[in-house]
Structure 1
Amino acid sequence: MSSYADLLKTPGVARIIAAQLTARFPNGMLSLAYLLHVERATGSYGAAGLVLAATSVGQAIAGPLTSRWMGRWGMRPVLSLTLVVCVLSMAGIAFLPLEVWGYMAIGFVGGLATPPVQPAVRTIYPKMVTSRQLTPLFSLDASAQEIIWVAAPVVTTFIATQISTVLAIVVAMVFMVGGGAWFIASPEVGRVRIPRSKRAFGVVLRRPPVLLSTVVGFLLIGACAAVEAAVVATFGHGGPESGIVLAIFAIGSLAGGLALGHIPVGPWAMTRRMLIVFIGMAGVVFWLDFWWLSVWLLIAGIGIAPALAVMFAIVSSSVKFSDTAEAYGWVGTGQLIGAALGSAVAGFLIDGYGATGGYLTAAAIALLGVIVSAVFKRAHPDLRGRDASPIPDTEPVPVQPS
């Protein structure tokens, strides 16, 4: 823990972690808030699912696109514009009486305008800490984001069911405006200038570590989404058990990230971490008791944040600084698509075979993640004793005054 204490004492690190977590807090609120609000407005969960799908498609398209724009127009202009459009779209869904296609259109625009806070902050990190601190910082970041997935659904469910679905969306808007403004105002956002990339859009995916991280991230988050659907199917919506089990799952990830974040990243690092996830998810399928599920999902969670941290580190070390934001955008898009497909496949198998079908889906996807990371180990750089910072661009990078 001393390494994390040293990190948090580094000027600006604690502040920017807190700001970006606040700005991203709505990411854990909106899916559930939109689901409950649109279902209440239309009387159909199918319609609500279409709105969520449209929003997710917009987010998937936006990931690498808006991230690349930050190298062309600067972080603050892109973050500010997307923040305004995204908040307006949230207000439209909350307050306008619309048909399903109207909700879908606004959700798609809002997804396209999702502020690229995550690619921005992970591009900034290498400029804030020493090379020795960078991998632990990625691990701390991946662990801290679990706070979003533990707290946000609880807050959203309470407000939407006990008070109002409109208020649930408004609270998400408040977090987005407050956190987004805090992050945009951070001196580091003004100080760090991403050089304009000379490569065509999408070329960064030719870098093996970027492609490996995108594919394995797709599989990791797909497995997690399948588990979430299966847990809800196991306990239903009437009691607290689903929320408690999923919170334990996220706490395992938080603990794993903090415990394993200081370990040097060798060529088998991703495979080992995905293996922990697979073992935990495979253990679940034998017995759907509350305590059994809690223990095995705690084990599965231990591998999640460390696996994400490895992805961030190998991407950072393998691309030029001008390409880092776009690279992280592609990794994020892979995770979004994985979440959508993991939920969809698990849903079909849950309909056919009950909750066990969802857990089998999760275990199978996680096993595929282990296999892919092992087979393509040569795409995984060995960062033991190496700097995980991005490759410098050859031309001088202008620095903007904060």
Structure 2
Amino acid sequence: MSSYAAVLRTPHAARAFGAALLGRLSYGIAPLALVLAVKQGSGSYAVAGTVMALFGISSVLLSPARAALVDRHGPRRALAPMAALYGALLVALAVICLLGGGGALQLGVLGTAAGACTPPLGPTMRTLWSELLADRRMLERAYSLDGVCEELLFVSGPLVIGVLVQFCHPAVGILLGAGLVIVGTLALVASPAVRAMQPSPGRPTAAGTKGRAPWRPALVAAGVGLGIGAVELLVLVFADAHGRASAAPWLLGALSVGSAVGGLVNGAVHWQRPAAARLALFAVGLAGALALAGAAPGLFTLAGAMVLTGLFVAPALTTAYLYADELAAPGARTRAGAWVNTAVNAGGSAASAGVGLLAGRLPLAWCFVLAGLPALCSALAVRSSRGARADAPRPVSGTPADQPGPRPTADR
């Protein structure tokens, strides 16, 4: 834990990180609140699901484009307008839902527009970590801490909405999400760490990297996303088949606990292997854990398998972001991280649709095995590629962990 404390003792890091987390809490609150509010306002699950799908698709697909704006114009000029538009559109959706009006078309247009304006606070914060920390080991710890906190935000967000809807209209949750992202973003861009960041006005290469293949971390991230998205539905099917559908949230909670523990351990370990090798290793571990989950005879053993699976989730995603940062050109770091984020979310969405078709046609054990197969295949593809074998680990600074030192330049 002293290693993580050293990360937060870095000048201006704690303030910027706290602001980014405050804004990112909106992403754990607003989506569920939007679904519940639209359902209550329109009286239709179909409309609510469509609005949520449009919101998610526009947010995920346009994430690299928004991140490119941050790289090109700097966080201060790019993030504040995005947050203002995002917040205003969420407020409009909340007001329409509170008044019980608005047709499906109007709600869909507003939901799509809101998703398109989502500020890329996560990718920006990871770029900021790279700017703040010259020591490679410290950067790995910062990325692990960031990933674990993000996991906790997405777990706590629905809990907040669950309490909120007991006392007021779900649209209040949308307003809360709008307020969080505006306050958090403004606090982030006002921090000294962000003020010191310089935009990269030059147009980066099409790949956004220094001649290295940017698809490698994104490919593994997509495989991991497919596994995560599949297991969320498979756990529900498993619990329902054992007559305990109500146990599904607890089983998914076990997955989150394992992910948090794995992320903290990953950041505390001084790894000798380069990021590319670790990324493949974690993806293979995830695939193996999912195969074991398919062999679980009951709910308690599946809970243990979910903890084991989670141990590989946060380390895999953290390492994917770290690897993307290694490959990124100086003016494309935020966009490189956004591509990984897009790959994870796209993989999860695709898995939700695919597993629904497979669960009724194949034995459940085979469905778990197939859920891990994309992660396994992507890991093998990354390790077999000539570019991955050529990647050397970035030199570790010889300065003490909590002292500034020269920034390594390998793979930059």
**TM-score interval for Structure 1 and Structure 2 normalised by the shorter chain:** 0.7 to 0.9
Alignment counterpart, residue 301 of structure 1, candidates 307, 310, 318: 310
Residue of structure 2 in register with 1:228 after alignment: 232
Residue of structure 1 in register with 2:76 after alignment: 76
CA contact (8 A) 1:347 1:358 kept: no
Distance 1:391 1:256, change over 3 A: same
Q: Which amino acid aligns with 1:62?
A: L
Residue of structure 1 in register with 2:393 after alignment: 383
Taking the TM superposition and a 5 Å limit, the aligned residue runs for 1:324-343 are 324-343=333-352
Q: Which amino acid aligns with 2:176?
A: V
Name whichever of 142-151 and 363-372 sits farther off: 363-372
Question: Structure 1 residue 140 and structure 2 residue 149: aligned?
Answer: no
Q: Which amino acid aligns with 2:40?
A: R
Distance 1:368 1:216, change over 3 A: same
Question: Structure 1 residue 194 and structure 2 residue 203: aligned?
Answer: no
Find the residue that maps to 2:180 and give its secondary structure: helix
Q: d(CA) in 2 for partners of 1:354 and 1:40?
A: 37
Name whichever of 283-292 and 309-318 sits farther off: 283-292
Residue of structure 1 in register with 2:156 after alignment: 151
CA contact (8 A) 2:213 2:387 kept: no
Question: Structure 1 residue 252 and structure 2 residue 262: aligned?
Answer: no
Q: Which amino acid aligns with 1:174?
A: G
TM-score, normalised to structure 2's length?
Answer: 0.86
Q: Which amino acid aligns with 1:379?
A: A
Q: d(CA) in 2 for partners of 1:174 and 1:12?
A: 23
Q: CA shift at 1:375, angstroms?
A: 2.9
CA contact (8 A) 1:25 1:175 kept: yes
Q: d(CA) in 2 for partners of 1:150 and 1:14?
A: 22
Alignment counterpart, residue 275 of structure 1, candidates 281, 284, 298: 284
CA contact (8 A) 1:231 1:355 kept: no
Residue of structure 1 in register with 2:185 after alignment: 180
Q: d(CA) in 2 for partners of 1:207 and 1:31?
A: 37
**Which consecutive residues of structure 1, in runs of 5 or more, have no partner in the other structure?**
395-402
CA contact (8 A) 1:229 1:358 kept: no
CA-to-partner distance for each residue in 1:143-185, whole Å, 9 max, x for gaps? 2211112211222233236643212222222322232222222
CA contact (8 A) 1:350 1:357 kept: no
Find the residue that maps to 1:84 and give its secondary structure: helix
TM-score, normalised to structure 1's length?
Answer: 0.88
Q: Which amino acid aligns with 1:363?
A: G
Distance 1:56 1:337, change over 3 A: same
Equivalent pairs, count:
393
Q: CA shift at 1:300, angstroms?
A: 0.9
Find the residue that maps to 1:114 and give its secondary structure: coil
Q: CA shift at 1:254, angstroms?
A: 1.3
Q: Which amino acid aligns with 2:254?
A: I
Q: CA shift at 1:323, angstroms?
A: 1.3
Q: CA shift at 1:54, angstroms?
A: 1.0
Name whichever of 368-377 and 125-134 sits farther off: 368-377
Q: d(CA) in 2 for partners of 1:271 and 1:377?
A: 14
Find the residue that maps to 1:268 and give its secondary structure: helix
Alignment counterpart, residue 126 of structure 1, candidates 117, 123, 130: 130
Residue of structure 1 in register with 2:103 after alignment: 99
Q: d(CA) in 2 for partners of 1:197 and 1:277?
A: 39
Q: Which amino acid aligns with 1:309?
A: T
Find the residue that maps to 2:199 and give its secondary structure: coil
